[in-house]
Chains A and B, each alone.
Chain A
Amino acid sequence: GIQVEQSPPDLILQEGANSTLRCNFSDSVNNLQWFHQNPWGQLINLFYIPSGTKQNGRLSATTVATERYSLLYISSSQTTDSGVYFCAVGANDYKLSFGAGTTVTVRA
């Protein structure tokens, strides 16, 4: 199956700072999603981005499918951005394969 690697594993930020999370994957994909998992376990959809660039408020994402990576940008971070961020990919099957996640802590 597809291998998904996320980096860094942990990120500590001061409120207002910018950050970049990376997701590398081992094979061609036709589905790539970024999620934020809140402390109660709910996975919140951030982006559905198998290729290209998207922006939503302070968050943006870029996927370069030919080079098998995706980046999630968080600008002007807030304490509510804290949590675990997951990248998940799908190929010519039906499942999502998840990375191990990046734990983000934003300090006031």
Chain B
Amino acid sequence: DAGVTQSPTHLIKTRGQQVTLRCSPKSGHDTVSWYQQALGQGPQFIFQYYEEEERQRGNFPDRFSGHQFPNYSSELNVNALLLGDSALYLCASSFSQSEQFFGPGTRLTVL
């Protein structure tokens, strides 16, 4: 049984560009959450998707948007990248509100 997968592993962008990160949940999971982890800090909740709708959003600007597909996979899009967006982006999947399982993350560097 494959766990949560994310792509790409690493990404380098320049300020002002746009980026799309992808996540496939564990088999049997229907909920995908996205987190941002800055260096030396704990992960911060960005938003959660369930039934292809954004169910809850954390304290992040509208530049951060997402999507969930019918197969439960998800994308995180960030527009107009800032230097401060450099971080590890983690995707987690769960069945409804149960235990969350995390993917290996995408490390984004904004130059």
How would residues 68 to 94 of chain B score, 1 for a CB under 8 Å from any chain A CB and 0 otherwise? Answer: 000000000000000000001010100
Nearest-CB distance from B76 to chain A (Å)? 15
Let me know if B45 and A31 touch, CB within 8 A.
Answer: no
In the bound assembly, the distance between CA atoms of A31 and B95 in angstroms comes to 13
Known A-B contacts A31-B97, A45-B99; the reply to A94 vs B42 at CB < 8 A is no
Counting chain A residues whose Cβ lies within 8 A of the other chain, the interface size class is: 20 to 34
> B97 touching A98 by the CB < 8 A rule?
no
What range describes how many residues of B lie at the interface?
20 to 34
- Complex CA gap A88/B45 in Å reads 11
Q: In residues 5-48 of chain A, which contact B (Cβ within 8 Å)? A: 30-31, 33, 35, 40-43, 45, 48
Considering only residues 11-29 of chain B, those with a C-beta below 8 Å from chain A are none
**Residues on B facing A (Cβ under 8 Å):** 31, 33, 35, 37, 41-45, 48, 50, 55-56, 58, 88, 90, 92, 97-102, 104-105, 107
